[in-house]
Structure 1
């Protein structure tokens, strides 16, 4: 793109054809100065922007203006950090639809929700999220030169939506490599390591059985415990619940003595 200006494809109306470029422009137009944005669209349509480059966390371009030398423009964002990208890649890889569509070079609209669930944003939502730099004397935010670059960046997103992720710190190749690996497999709880067995070990009690043998005995169950936890049957003997009538027999069996005859 060096030397030859890039003209916006749309001659009238809104710039940006796909959902991601429209999302980006809608957010920019929600907080930027409308007058300078309008002049920026004019610059973009006249082909005064060239050498547009998207790199992690920064977009740079040159814009022809009133002076002989072009203005240098840079659009910076905080982007997504390395640790957050690992979490995002893991989440995307775990969702079959997102993984399949991204590997097919498609950008699903719902991808923004996945990042939002992780507390991450793909697009600058406020003026504070977008750092605009231009060496022109206009201190507007944005100036018309930066505005022109913003609009042509949206059309670049139309051509290659993975540039959105590149701007946020992750290249297409690196993301797709992570997605091809797929989600990390959960460990198999039944998988056991094979250990070589020697002739000596053959006659040795396995360590697991030895631990079971050495465990302390369980505390004794109190007499009639089963009667206490069981649901009482709707049966009475001499107007007494059946469980009360059976309790002396349980106590006698646990103690070895004969059951008492009760009250009657």
Structure 2
């Protein structure tokens, strides 16, 4: 009966050993995963995996049969209690990106102010999947290298399915786990994005409005706040800041110089 050792239906088998304190899915019925990123992960699984075993995996996840899940770069390891006394060992592997690839991805994220701001705020912008694709990689894995120590020959077995569904719920709680699985922890990514913060704009003196009442509506200088004329621009400065086409530079130089001159006193 070894081949049917952990089949919870048929052949008179009693089903899995119930455990106390296992990891239990929050979802009681229907689909698992509520955010766009966890649903994206589940959609990939449900397209390529056996629907019957996925259904039994959801039942295992909701019963609390998964004892532990540990995620690190490129690998998830878990223990699932079946009908045998010894829990089954589950391993799910994906590609973890190297430092050079992550440097490229972080630079691409930092170049998009909105994406960068949302990640720094703890959110996962939907456009980040396209950003990864533009770099030639997938944010969500298309291929999973999965293994379970159970005797079930199906792929994936219900033990693997239970772990994958609970992993999706973990992604709901912390979207940075998706990136950590690819090789970048939250601390590493946010530290890199914070270090790439653009230069702060120059400080501008804040004058209280009450002190501006005397001249706020005046068209120009007043006796209370004499006009401060700007210093004349250095010759050729405007040409360097706003360079015209090469063949016009010499012809426009006198006009640019006159624009930078101080106007004559009335």
How does the TM-score come out when normalised to structure 1? 0.66
In structure 2, distance between residues paired with 1:29 and 1:80: 25
Name the SS for the 2:69 alignment partner: strand
Post-superposition offset of 1:51:
1.4
- Name the structure 1 match of 2:188: 174
Aligned counterpart, 2:141 = 124
Alignment of 1:1-264 (within 5 A): 4-125=21-142, 129-182=143-196
The higher radius of gyration belongs to 1
CA–CA separation in structure 2 for the residues paired with 1:51 and 1:140: 22
Secondary structure at 1:107 match in 2? coil
Question: Does the CA contact (< 8 Å) of 1:49 and 1:149 recur in 2?
Answer: yes
Q: Offset at 1:80?
A: 2.1
Post-superposition CA distance 1:104-153 (Å, at most 9, x none): 1111111111001101111122xxx1011111111221111000000000
Q: Give, in angstroms, the shift of residue 179 of structure 1.
A: 0.4
Contact 1:43 1:145 in 2 (8 A): yes
Q: Distance in 2 between matches of 1:45 and 1:80?
A: 32
CA shift for structure 1 position 79 = 2.9
Question: Helix, strand or coil: the match of 2:118?
Answer: helix
| Contiguous gaps of at least 5 residues in structure 2 | 1-19, 200-266
Alpha-carbon distance, 1:184 to partner: 8.6
Q: Is this contact kept in 2: 1:102–1:176, CA < 8 A? A: yes
SS of 2:91's partner is strand
Give yes or no for contact 1:49–1:61 (8 Å, CA) kept in 2.
yes
Question: Is contact 1:94-1:183 (8 Å) kept?
Answer: no
Specify the SS of the correspondent of 1:175.
helix
Q: Secondary structure at the match of 2:184?
A: coil
Per-residue deviation, 1:54: 1.1
Task: Tell me what 2:222 maps to.
Answer: none
Shift of 1:78: 1.4
In the alignment, the residues of structure 1 paired with residue 197 and residue 94 of structure 2 have an alpha-carbon distance, to the nearest angstrom, of 29
TM superposition outliers: structure 1 runs of 4+ over 6 Å: none
Q: Once the 2 structures are TM-superposed, how far is the Cα of residue 4 of structure 1 from its aligned partner?
A: 2.4
Pairwise CA RMSD = 1.6
Equivalenced residue count is 181
Determine helix, strand or coil for the equivalent of 1:67: coil
Specify the SS of the correspondent of 2:55.
helix
Q: Secondary structure at the match of 1:52?
A: strand
Q: Which runs of 5+ in 1 are unaligned?
A: 186-264
Q: Distance in 1 between matches of 2:56 and 2:124?
A: 30
Give, in whole Å, the separation in 1 of the partners of 2:161 and 2:184: 24
